[in-house]
Amino acid sequence: MKRKGFTLLDLIVAIAIIIILAAIAIPSYLKMMDKARRSAVVAEFANLATVLETFHTDWGHYPLAAAGSQAIALNDSGVYRELTTEGSGVALTNVAGAKTVHGDTAPIVYIGAGALSSMTNPFVASSSDPQYRYATNEAGTTWVLYVKMGTSGSARYLVRTDRQSGIVESATEPTV
């Protein structure tokens, strides 16, 4: 009497084929995910660069970051307050009654608070360092935006400055 069903050899061959297909597909998937994350950073940095340049045109300098860098989307940072006119940070320039170089009266909303606070690091879990970072020199004449890719000691950074239109990769944390 002949039994119906699969033999052990049939199952082993099927599993081997599945493993081979997974070995081909998974690296491609991971590469595409990395490209998607980079594309998100490029788009959001382009948006932020436009916002920062508009602020610079109005006030003659970029929003000043505290010593070091600030997480740009945290509602308690001064940069968040300067750009959105919301949050609990201290705005130094874009305050009620102040006048821009063109004579416009502040406060001026450069980007919606929801749009800014939704910008998070696509490379790491939200609990490690979810924010894009922003730094300026003391005079507010130059800026840098960056994001950390990964959480290990060998993490790299994607960087954009006021002097470049694209992003570059850096092995060290950027400074102005």
Q: What is the pLDDT of residues 154-165, one digit of tens each?
A: 778 999 999 988
Look at the block and give the residue holding tokens 């400074």.
175
Tell which residue, 166, 163, 165, has the closest CA to residue 176. Answer: 163
| CA 102 distance to own-chain centroid | 31
Residue pLDDT, tens place only, 97-151:
999 999 999 899 999 988 888 888 888 876 556 688 899 988 889 999 999 887 6
The CA distances from residue 101 to 64, 93, 116, 140, in Å, are 17, 12, 25, 15
Identify the pLDDT of residue 3. Answer: 73
Token pair, residue 9, equals 């050899």
Rounded Cα–Cα distance for residues 3 and 109 (Å): 76
Residue pLDDT, tens place only, 46-84:
999 999 999 999 999 999 887 767 777 777 788 888 999
Determine the Cα angle at 111 with ends 143 and 159, to 5°.
30
The answer to whether the CB of 135 falls within 8 A of the CB of 143 is yes
Confidence category of residue 1, pLDDT binned at 50, 70, 90: low
Identify the pLDDT of residue 29. Answer: 94
Please report, for the chain, the start and end positions of each structural domain, with discontinuous segments joined by +.
Answer: 38-170
Report yes or no on whether pTM surpasses 0.85. Answer: no
For residue 122, cis peptide bond before it (omega within 30 degrees of 0): no
At 35, which helix (H) or strand (E)? Answer: helix 8-59
- Average pLDDT estimate for 13-29: 95
Identify residue 146 by its one-letter amino acid code: Y
- Is 16 buried (19+), middle (13-18) or exposed (0-12) by CB count in 10 A? exposed
